[in-house]
Amino acid sequence: MVHRLVVSYGQPDDPGAFDAHYRDTHVPLATAMPGLVRFTVGHPVPVDPSELPPYLVAELDFASEEDMAQAFASPEGAAAAADVGTFASGGATMVHFEVHEVPAGTTSRP
């Protein structure tokens, strides 16, 4: 099973500074968290021109919700969480959920 935390960062005041801090400081803090099994990021593309998408979406996968809770209770997790407040000038919203795979039916897999 996979338990996924999705962090959506709003548009920052200074995207260049955000990117540099994220890459050089936040990624090393986040990847040090115990129990993190997969970490991906993406820069959303606008779908509806009237709706500004988040600036960055980070997905952090753990083996279980308990593993995720333990990761954030660790010193590494506390450091990563505390760091968010130092660079997320456009805010950050988080949701987490158990990932359920939907069988892809008639879809062919490459």
| Selected range binding its own copies among 9-17, 77-85, 93-101, rule: CB under 8 A | 93-101
Quote the CA–CA distance of 4 and 11 in Å, as a whole number. 22
Please report how close the Cβ of residue 104 comes to its own copies at its closest, in angstroms: 5
What is the DSSP-derived secondary structure letter of residue 103?
A: P
User: How many degrees, rounded to 5, is the angle at CA 96 between CA 25 and CA 36?
Assistant: 45
| Selected range binding its own copies among 10-18, 59-67, 81-89, rule: CB under 8 A | 59-67
Among the listed residues 18, 35, 80, 87, the single contact to its own copies using CB under 8 A: 35
Contact predicate 36/60, CB 8 Å: yes
> At 4, which helix (H) or strand (E)?
strand 2-9
Binding footprint of its own copies on the chain (CB under 8 A): 4, 6, 27-28, 30-45, 47-48, 51, 53-54, 57, 59, 63, 65, 93-107, 109-110
